[in-house]
Structure 1
Amino acid sequence: MTKVIHTGDTHLGYRQYHSPDRRQDFFDAFRRVVEDAIADDVDAVVHAGDLYHDRTPGLEDLMGTIDVLRPLSEADIPFLAVVGNHEGTRHAQWLDLFERLGLAERLDADGRRVGDTVFYGLDHVPKSKRDRLDYEFAARDATHTALVSHGLFQPFPHGDWDLEEVLAESNVAFDAVLLGDDHTADTVRLDGTWATYCGSTERASASERDPRGYNVVEFDPEEKANADAGEETGTGVHIRRRGIDTRDFVFIDLELGESEGAERVRQRIREEDVEDAVVVVTIDGEGGEVTPADVERFGDEQGALVTRVTDRREVDVEADYEVSFADPDEAVRERVRDLGLSEAARGIDDTVRQGDVADSNVRDTVKERVSDLVDDGDLAAFEAAAQDAGNEGGVEVAGDDGERAETGDSDAPADAVSEPAETDDATTTTMEDYL
């Protein structure tokens, strides 16, 4: 029997809401995972990427991580990990440093045997480079095999990396795929292979309402040997979710009537135990003379650590501009369309404002997009939009459906960052080129 803790997306060093207390919360959550691993005497802790929030963690964060990992090493429990998108893969990583210190091991295509299970690693790979991967792994004699990777995989929500294709093209038949990047815990089975996200250990955005935790994964060789289809992948793999205590987030959703306002909001906050909690207030409806500053003050009065406000009320302004606060981004989009921005600039603008990128990921997503374009030599993406005789304003104009008006060179969405063309169709890049 091989028993491991599968965790990831710990985002150490993140000063969420500019709060030093929240930075400590992320370390405390990770420490609880390590303490549980020692108490349960597991065979390994498997980390699926994004140990740090920033690609260049500070010395204080590095030293704090050493303090957390040292007891794990003293208990002779290996810490096996891959690199996530927040760390990047262009240079030496935090994991390489901890490996030299004897505190961690970086998983790769060669695999690492733990008991009767071999764990392989696949670091995060940008979308523009994935078509050159060959998914070749070293063959190892073991009852079970598991792949550890970081990315948003289909068929999970928001996935853009086809996990079924990865499994089909791999030369190893994996029993389980242990994933990181999606902060929501979820598990599916694909043609006999278990695929699971462990979720984040702390809430990195206000959209993460579910309790935090990690996975406990057991590989039972006896069960697989005794099964009627003993060679079937996924047999003898058991995944269960375990929660951890983290700082309370109190979510207050309000719909205010025309006659309701500040006092109604104050009352709702008083009804909740918000002391030392992160309070997230969402306001809908048509009424209420209450501002976000008022709500933050109400939270402070009740001892909240942080109070965040999302005001979704629709307020019409009687002016010549026909602006509705229900969708201020549309006014920005109209102005952006007239600026003649480069392809890269439009992609950055969309990333900053789009709702499907968590606040904690915006900066790193922008950095990754720009770095990918530079690394691939796609400098044309940084040139201003070309003049067009059929376009009165001399720039590309996106229609209401988000598609670019005809300019003669592309029919891609106006807010997309173009994928660089390959210079050599015959080139095959192995995973080692990205490690």
Structure 2
Amino acid sequence: MTRVIHTGDTHVGYSQYHSPVRRQDFLDAFEAVVDDAVDDGVDAVVHAGDLFHDRRPELPDLMGTISVLRRLDDAGIPFLAVVGNHESTRGGQWLDLFERLGLATRLGDEPVVVGDTAFYGLDHVPVSRRDDLDYAFADHDADYAALVAHGLFEPFGYADWDTETVLTESDVDFDAMLLGDNHTPDTAEVADTWVTYPGSTERASASEREGRGYNLVVFDADAAGGDDRVEIRRRALDTRPFVFVSVELREGEGESRVRERVREHDLAEAVVHVEVTGEGEPVTPAAVEEFASDEGALIARVTDRREVDADGEVDVSFADPEDAVRDRLDEMALSTAARDVERAVREDGVPDANVRETVKRRIEERLDEDGDLGAFEAVGTDVEVVDGGDERDDLDEPDGDGGESRGRDEPDDDESKTEESNAEESSDEADSAEPDDTDPASTDGQVSMEDYL
């Protein structure tokens, strides 16, 4: 029998809402998983990617992670992991550093046997490169086998990776796939194999309303679940509370009613999201946010979903509002990559919380396809744009994806419509487009991996 904790999407270093307190929360959640592992004496902790939120974690995040991993090492519990899309770099990975320090094992196509189970790894692979994968894994002589992978696999939300293809083309018969990337916990059976996501360990988006946690996975011939070989149990984590307040204002009601509804909740040290709808009076979001903070909230955000009249006249065709957008795009010298970003922001099929991750993936795909960065060069304003931004040429359309219910990313605040999220998206795009820095001074105070390896 082998008992492991399956976790992932810890996103250490994420300064959600630009809050240092929230940044610490993500490290604390990872530490809580390790505390449970040590207290319960599991055989291993299996991490399915996105240990860090960014490919350039800052020194406090690195030192905090090393401290947590040392606790596992002191307890004799191996840390097995793969690389996720958020932390992936073009050179060595941070996971390689931890492996060199003796604190982690990076999983790959060779089996790592713990107890009577062989573990394999599959790092995040961009959609454009997956056709080249052969899923060739070395043989093992253990009783069970598990594949740890990072990506959006079927049959779960926003999937862009065919799980059955992975299983049928693999050289190894897997009893389970332990996944990361989708922040919504879920389990399914595909081709007689249990496939499961543990979800993120902290709420990386306001769309992640359910409690956070991880999986306890048992490989045992007498296991209680499924095919009597694999048992998957979900365990909860005690994380910072999120409070969601929905207020529908009737005619004549206004800010006082919003405050009244907010006051009905325990806001102590919570992240509070207030959504206003209805036919009532105008509400000043900043005033409500200040009120919630005075009531004890750590962070407050107010979204007024009601339509308001614009001060100026806007020339928009209501028969087809997209005409106005297309006309404006025709006037701009946007690069092909910029048009990818524009489409991702406006696509109906991409939830607000997943815009950032979708943008990031499409930029990465453009980098893969256009090594000369030609897709990032401005084009002439005479390029005709049709059907939501497609240029009239033979450029391949990047594979669309919805990102993760994160979060993915997602990590990724549902504030993607705000100035804060737009700034973060721009930063991610820049990181994806530029080559890895070799000069430590060029990282603007951030630590590069080369300083350590």
Q: Give the alignment's TM-score, normalised by structure 2.
A: 0.81
Match of 1:18 in 2: 18
CA-CA distance at 1:412 after TM superposition? 4.9
Match of 1:292 in 2: 285
Distance 1:49 1:75 in 2: 22
Kindly indicate whether the alpha-carbon contact (under 8 Å) linking 1:215 and 1:241 is maintained by their aligned counterparts in 2.
yes
Q: In the alignment, which residue of structure 2 is the partner of 1:147? A: 147
> Could you say if the C-alpha distance between residues 106 and 412 of structure 1 is closer, same or farther in structure 2, counting changes exceeding 3 Å?
closer
Equivalent position to 2:383, from 378, 388, 395: 395
What is the rounded CA distance, in whole Å, between the counterparts of 1:342 and 1:180 in structure 2?
Answer: 32
Higher RCO (CA-CA < 8 Å; seq separation 6+)? 2
Q: In 1, Cα distance between the equivalents of 2:3 and 2:51?
A: 21
2:176: which partner in 1? Answer: 176
- Kindly provide the CA deviation profile for residues 172-197 of structure 1, in whole angstroms up to 9, marking residues without a partner as x: 11110000000000100012100000
Tell me if structure 1 keeps the 8 A contact 2:344–2:355: no
Q: Show the counterpart of 2:44.
A: 44
2:113/2:119 contact within 8 Å kept: yes
Q: Which runs of 5+ in 1 are unaligned?
A: 228-232, 388-393, 417-435
1:382 alignment partner in structure 2: 376
The aligned counterpart of 1:409 is 394
Counterpart CA distance in 1 for 2:290 and 2:145 is: 53
Query: Residue in 2 aligned with 1:255?
Result: 248
Matching residue of 1:92: 92
Q: How do residues 309-348 of structure 1 correspond to structure 2 at under 5 angstroms?
A: 309-317=302-310, 319-321=312-314, 335-348=328-341
Residues in 1 aligned to 2:204 and 2:121: alpha-carbon distance in whole angstroms:
24
Match of 2:270 among 271, 277, 282: 277
**CA distance in 2: counterparts of 1:80 and 1:8, whole angstroms:** 11
- Deviations along 1:291-336, one digit per CA (max 9) or x if unpaired, are 2112211211201100012221112336431579xxx999656523
5 Å matches for 1:100-119?
100-119=100-119
Superposed counterparts of 1:123-272, under 5 Å: 123-221=123-221, 235-272=228-265
Q: Is the 8 A contact 1:342 1:383 kept in 2?
A: yes
Contact kept? 1:278, 1:306, Cα under 8 Å: yes
Distance change >3 Å, CA 114–CA 358, structure 1 → 2: farther
Instruction: Indicate the RMSD between aligned Cα atoms, in angstroms.
Output: 2.9
* SS of aligned partner of 1:46: strand
**What is the number of residues matched between the two proteins?**
397
Tell whether the 8 Å contact from 1:6 to 1:45 is kept in structure 2 after alignment: yes
In 2: Cα distance, 1:415 partner to 1:141 partner: 40
Structure 2's unaligned 5+ residue stretches are 402-453
Q: Find the aligned partners of 1:415 and 1:223 in 2 and give their Cα distance.
A: 39
1:380 Cα offset (Å):
3.8
Instruction: Give the 3 Å change call, closer, same or farther, for CA 149–19 of structure 1 in structure 2.
Output: same
Structure label with greater radius of gyration: 1
1:70 CA displacement = 1.0
Q: 1:80 to 1:238 in 2, by over 3 A?
A: same
What's the % identity of the aligned pairs? 60
Deviations for 1:267-299, whole angstroms, at most 9, x for unmatched residues? 011110001100011112232221211221121
Q: Deviations over 1:58-88 (max 9, x none)?
A: 1111100111111111110000000000011
The 3 A distance-change label for structure 1 pair 357 and 97 is farther
Bigger drift between 211-220 and 350-359 goes to: 350-359
Partner residue in 2 for 1:79 = 79
